[in-house]
Amino acid sequence: MAVDTSDRAPYAQLAGRLKPQLLKALENHGFTHMTPVQEKVLQLPTFTQDCLVQAKTGTGKTLAFLLPALQNLLEAKDLDRSYVGILVLAPTRELAQQIADECDKLTSACSPPLECHIAVGGSKKTVHLNKFLKNKPTVLVATPGRLIDYLSEDAARQKLSKVRCVVLDEADRMLDAGFAPDLRRILEQLPPKAQAGWQGMCFSATVPPEIKKMLPMVLTQDHVRISTIDKNEAPTVELVPQTVYPVATVDDVLPTLHSVLACAKADNPALKAVIFCPTARHGLPHIFGTGGAAPPKLPVFQMQSRMSQAQRTRTVEEFKETDRGLLFASDVVGRGMDFPDINLVVQIGVPSEKDQYVHRVGRTGRAGKVGEAVMVLAPEEMWFVAANPEFPIKNNGPFNHPKASTYPSAQIIQTALAKVPDQSKEQAYIGNLGFIKSLMKRYGLDPTGVVALANRFATSFGCAEVPTLSPMLVGKMGLKGVPGLVVEGKGLVRGPPPGASGSAGRGRGGRGGGRGAAGMGGGRGGFFDGPPRENGFGGPSSDERSGRGGPRGGRGFGRGGAGGGRGGRRGPGQPDRAREGSGQQGEEPSRKRARR
Ligand SMILES: Nc1ncnc2c1ncn2[C@@H]1O[C@H](COP(=O)(O)OP(=O)(O)OP(=O)(O)O)[C@@H](O)[C@H]1O
């Protein structure tokens, strides 16, 4: 990838510190100079120290941890290649695969070759496990759920008994409340750090203060801290201008998204964009794909964790290779994924967590390339911008590109919506309801306001009336008796909002209104900068996990598909945040270089 690092230190400077095989591989792949984070890590006095490394998205952190880890391995005199020497943990299957591919690149000049295996959900466990046990998995890249599965086998535990280095990529994610229990279980099966002395490395673009107390799980107290991000600097990449386009009402979100994409395509026929939406169920691929709202000649892709692994793998490969297209994605690709040449990231609605904004924006502007990031937000969602002034998000008012008026976007969306199956619209409603509920305090809403807002969104998704929910679902969402819901066997829930009069429309600038359908009215939520995780349902931390039912999530009840993991299901509206499953959906991911 053409990143201009020519003013940086050349890798050649590391002759003597890095094995010739590694330097050769870097050269073969056109990497001549270090990125800043690589420079800082590779110029440490030793490569064996524990470290916490923070650097912006797309700045080459993967090589920054692989190079020292591989160097240590290759120079170890007592290395037994039949045992795992380096264990890399990553939150998603796709990211694990990508890291393994990078590792293969780096070891391509090693003789004998160094084997890098992956252990991820969605692939056939027995096949991979047998290969892992029979071969020499000197490097293992894994997602936590599947690794826990492996570790239930004595022979697999044995393979990990000589681990020398444990890397957490997307470390803040791996250490957050969603993943930490799995991580703990994994570490319990490894030789104890205190005795075995394995090296711990944590890398991420974001390091929120909350994770600091979790660091001792993998890092010694005297670990080195490296950051290439200035304290006063925004953690997003400078080469990505960021803009929010506020829309007048929720009904304008989809037409504005259409205008944004159509104008971006008009400006750049080779538009390659990722469009993030809050939950897997927003139905956007339907609207822009089969509904036909995508600008002509732009292929439409979708990526979310409810797809089979075979579909996920195919989509990643295709979207990496294509030079144009629209990827409608949940946060399953929100972190770490390196799709070349993405020139636009669009966010519809708010991300589930502040840091997720940084990671989403970071899908563009990678490796020194330019990109652009925009958000299309309804008035009820504008709190995100107000609450996060550190992000350089420009608000120049509604989208007003000179070519916008040439597209009948509202009409195009209406026509597209008519082609979207009702079931998809209903799922979008459920997903959105759960999502808003999970961020209720952030939205400044009470339950009545949550339902009112979700109902207004339902209209904008093309629902003719408020979709009917089962009493069980309503109960589990904590919305029993909330006016505006339509419940199976009961119909529209009427009556005063629980504990309030008219609170649905009482946010800042609240206003009632609606379109006449049952409960479709409702007010604007006001801004309330409350804590982001106020409940266990569908909360921002309860994303796709191994399906083991951790502290949040795991217990699902959605009408939709099962989560990727063993018995794990996300609840409706739980953000699709890429907690990796170990389930056996799909087929073994195809590999460019056969993974052993
Ligand atoms: N020294 C280098 N010279 C040129 N390109 C590089 C160099 N190091 C890495 N790259 C390329 O930069 C891109 C981004 O690297 P990488 O995926 O490791 O970023 P990252 O910092 O881990 O991003 P994220 O925070 O999103 O996970 C990749 O395409 C990688 O091949």
Q: What is the pLDDT of residues 206-248, one digit of tens each?
A: 999 999 999 999 999 999 999 999 988 888 888 899 999 999 9
Amino acid 453: pLDDT: 97
Burial string for 346-363 (b: 16+ CB within 10 Å, else e) reads bbbbbbbbbbbbbbbbbb
3-state DSSP call for residue 170? coil
Mutate to test the pocket of ligand 1, among 63, 88, 335, 342 (most ligand atoms within 8 A of CB): 63
- 173 within ligand 1 shell (Cβ under 6 A): no
* pLDDT tens-place string over residues 250-259: 999 999 999 9
As a CATH number, domain 242-419 is 3.40.50.300
Q: Assign residue 330 a region (left: φ > 0; alpha: ψ between -120 and 50; beta: otherwise).
A: beta
One-letter amino acid for residue 266 of the chain: A
Mutate to test the pocket of ligand 1, among 18, 31, 33, 339 (most ligand atoms within 8 A of CB): 31
Percent of the chain with pLDDT over 70: 82
> How far does residue 413's CA lie from ligand 1's centre (Å)?
37
One-letter amino acid for residue 338 of the chain: D
pLDDT higher than 70, residue 291: yes
Kindly state the average pLDDT of the residues 429-434.
94
pLDDT higher than 90, residue 512: no
> How far does residue 521's CA lie from ligand 1's centre (Å)?
47
Confidence of residue 4 (pLDDT cuts 50, 70, 90): low
User: Which residue's alpha carbon is nearest to atom 1 within ligand 1?
Assistant: 34
Atom of ligand 1 minimally distant from the CA of 102: 31
Atom of ligand 1 minimally distant from the CA of 98: 17
- Report ipTM for this prediction: 0.99
Backbone angles phi, psi at 66, to 5 degrees: -70, -40
Amino acid 282: pLDDT: 65
- 336 within ligand 1 shell (Cβ under 6 A): yes
Amino acid 123: pLDDT: 81
The answer to whether the 11-227 and 242-419 domains have the same CATH topology is: yes
pLDDT higher than 70, residue 584: no
What architecture is domain 11-227?
3-Layer(aba) Sandwich (3.40)
In whole angstroms, give the CA distance from residue 130 to residue 74.
Answer: 25
The conformation of residue 352, written as its DSSP 8-state character, comes to S
Q: Assign residue 205 a region (left: φ > 0; alpha: ψ between -120 and 50; beta: otherwise).
A: alpha
- 362 within ligand 1 shell (Cβ under 6 A): yes
> How far does residue 11's CA lie from ligand 1's centre (Å)?
15
Q: How many Cα neighbours within 13 Å face the side chain of 499?
A: 5
- 65 within ligand 1 shell (Cβ under 6 A): no
> How far does residue 244's CA lie from ligand 1's centre (Å)?
27
Q: Which among 580, 578, 592, 96 is positioned nearest to 321, based on CA atoms?
A: 592
Partners of 327 in beta bridges: 274, 301
Q: Assign residue 442 a region (left: φ > 0; alpha: ψ between -120 and 50; beta: otherwise).
A: alpha
Kindly state the average pLDDT of the residues 452-465.
94
One-letter amino acid for residue 263 of the chain: C
Confidence of residue 281 (pLDDT cuts 50, 70, 90): low
- 62 within ligand 1 shell (Cβ under 6 A): yes
Atom of ligand 1 minimally distant from the CA of 8: 1
- 61 within ligand 1 shell (Cβ under 6 A): yes
- 36 within ligand 1 shell (Cβ under 6 A): no
List, in order, residues 6 or more apart from 376 with CB less than 8 Å away.
244, 245, 247, 253, 256, 257, 260, 346, 347, 348, 399
> How far does residue 176's CA lie from ligand 1's centre (Å)?
24
Partners of 166 in beta bridges: 87, 200
Higher pLDDT, 497 or 332: 332
Amino acid 37: pLDDT: 97
Task: Decide if 556 contacts 563 (C-beta within 8 A).
Answer: yes
Atom of ligand 1 minimally distant from the CA of 11: 1
Amino acid 505: pLDDT: 40
Burial string for 312-327 (b: 16+ CB within 10 Å, else e) reads bbbbbbebeebebbbb
- 57 within ligand 1 shell (Cβ under 6 A): yes
Atom of ligand 1 minimally distant from the CA of 59: 21
- 35 within ligand 1 shell (Cβ under 6 A): yes
Amino acid 234: pLDDT: 87
- What's the Cα-to-Cα distance from 319 to each of 3, 105, 336, rounded to whole Å? 20, 20, 15
Mutate to test the pocket of ligand 1, among 206, 338, 359, 363 (most ligand atoms within 8 A of CB): 338
How do the domains of the chain map onto residue ranges?
11-227, 242-419, 421-596
* pLDDT tens-place string over residues 533-571: 222 223 323 333 443 333 333 222 222 322 333 333 344
Q: Is there a cis peptide before residue 269, judged by omega within 30 degrees of 0?
A: no
> How far does residue 220's CA lie from ligand 1's centre (Å)?
27
Kindly state the average pLDDT of the residues 481-510.
69
Amino acid 232: pLDDT: 85
- 34 within ligand 1 shell (Cβ under 6 A): yes
**Packed helices 253-267 and 409-418: angle between N→C axes, nearest 10 degrees:** 110
Mean pLDDT in the chain?
A: 84
List, in order, residues 6 or more apart from 100 with CB less than 8 Å away.
116, 117, 118, 139, 141, 595
Percent of the chain with pLDDT over 90: 74
User: Which residue's alpha carbon is nearest to atom 27 within ligand 1?
Assistant: 336
Mutate to test the pocket of ligand 1, among 239, 355, 366, 369 (most ligand atoms within 8 A of CB): 366
